[in-house]
Amino acid sequence: MEKESIDLIYIDPPFFSNRHYEIIWGDEAEIRSFEDRWEGGINVYIDWMKQRVIELHRVLKPTGSFYLHCDWHAGHYLKVMCDEVFGYKNLLNEIIWWYHDPAGTVRDRFKKKHDTIFFYSKKVDAHNFNLDAVRTPYKEGTVRQAKHKTISFGRITKTHPLGKVPEDVWEIPFINSQAKERLGYPTQKPEALLERIIKASSNKGDIVLDAFCGCGTALAVAGMLGRHWIGIDISPSAVALVKNRLKKIGVGEEEFDLIGMPKRVEDLRRFKPFEFQYWVVTEMHGTPAPRKSGDMGIDGLSFMEHAPIQVKQSEGVGRNVIDNFETALRRYYKEQTSNMKGYIVAFSFGKGAYEEVARVKKEGIEIELVTVQDILDKRFVLRQEVKKEIPVQEKELELWQKQE
């Protein structure tokens, strides 16, 4: 990215919390997960963050602002590191985001109910700050005093027609389980929080960058406020969520560039098992299954017909995988004795797999073997649409027999 090209940067990186986030949410029981583990301790984490903050400082315009969202896990270490990169005097605020949340009981300390957001300018007197866009209502008492020109603390109370200058402690509710904006991504931040940051520190037409964008809260809000945006995330499932989120608010895929998503089989070999599974099932337009059913050999359900999908990140899948999947299908379809259907996705299948598929077909179970290449080339989705007469595995078996 070009130097000094961005107006506002907001980042909400993994918090050094040594937890593996994973939640199962909603009717479709979707799983979202990302890892937040730092084997080598806090110094490894801070070094890792520093490399990124240096780059972010480079791409920020001299009039730009930088917001780093963190919490008690590493906040103090991050502040010292950011002071080194941005300069101590460029820290404008240490914002406390305070959220009420009845969850959790502690008996030996106070409840931890706030995050910290460090707000830096690149150049202290040059930064853009739209105070009037983020003023908040006065307390009723203040308005009353001002009306009657009351003297308080030796000064005549005067109010601004747009409201008061907000303080650095922000009380914004956490996204609750019923909230409309909730997508189920662990650590998803409320839109109201991002709205205040984006309104304060950017103008319409400016560029907002979120380099750890998760499910895209900053991007969605930036778009709604008429800003351009750039989002980065290492997790393909987060990027898939961003795509869906944008679609829901009327932003089509033709309106943004998607860079770095897998295009070749080699890219997919490098995916973590869960990311791979999630990618396969969503590309098939199916629904990822909760972990529990994954244990039963079902990683997702197909679109419309809700047939089980099993995903294998391997080559030459053989007879035994088909046999195990047959058992999983029988369990899934319970009493049913015919019209059972399922999909197995892998990089490639061996001859034994095709033979086994032909065998179970006679027993009323249709297993379709789908290669990752089929999914990458959109052949799978197209095949579903045109509903071809000859299932692919029969053709593949013919080929095997010919080869012999």
Ligand X SMILES: C[S@@+](CC[C@H](N)C(=O)[O-])C[C@H]1O[C@@H](n2cnc3c(N)ncnc32)[C@H](O)[C@@H]1O
By CB under 6 A, name the binding residues for ligand X: 12-14, 34, 185, 187-189, 212, 214-215, 217, 232-235, 238
To ligand X, the closest distance from the beta carbon of 36 in angstroms equals: 8
Phi first, then psi: what are they for 209, rounded to 5°? -120, 130
To ligand X, the closest distance from the beta carbon of 293 in angstroms equals: 24
Closer to ligand X at the Cβ: 233 or 374? 233
Alpha-carbon span 322 to 306, nearest angstrom: 19
Alpha-carbon span 239 to 220, nearest angstrom: 13
Give the residue at shortest CB distance from ligand X.
214
DSSP 349: B
To ligand X, the closest distance from the beta carbon of 21 in angstroms equals: 8
To ligand X, the closest distance from the beta carbon of 238 in angstroms equals: 4
- The pair of structure tokens assigned to 89 is 């005097």
Closer to ligand X at the Cβ: 217 or 277? 217
Closer to ligand X at the Cβ: 235 or 310? 235
Closer to ligand X at the Cβ: 66 or 185? 185
**Torsion angle, alpha carbons of 73, 52, 173, 17, to 10:** -30
To ligand X, the closest distance from the beta carbon of 231 in angstroms equals: 9
Closer to ligand X at the Cβ: 215 or 298? 215
DSSP 197-211: HHHHH--TT-EEEET
Alpha-carbon span 278 to 161, nearest angstrom: 51
What is the H or E stretch that residue 55 is in? helix 42-59
Alpha-carbon span 289 to 277, nearest angstrom: 10
CA-closest candidate to residue 50, choices 33, 73, 71, 74: 74
- The pair of structure tokens assigned to 126 is 């040059």
To ligand X, the closest distance from the beta carbon of 210 in angstroms equals: 7
To ligand X, the closest distance from the beta carbon of 289 in angstroms equals: 21
189 contacts 167 by C-beta, under 8 angstroms: no
**Torsion angle, alpha carbons of 170, 235, 274, 48, to 10:** -80
- The pair of structure tokens assigned to 213 is 């964008």
Closer to ligand X at the Cβ: 243 or 361? 243
Closer to ligand X at the Cβ: 12 or 356? 12
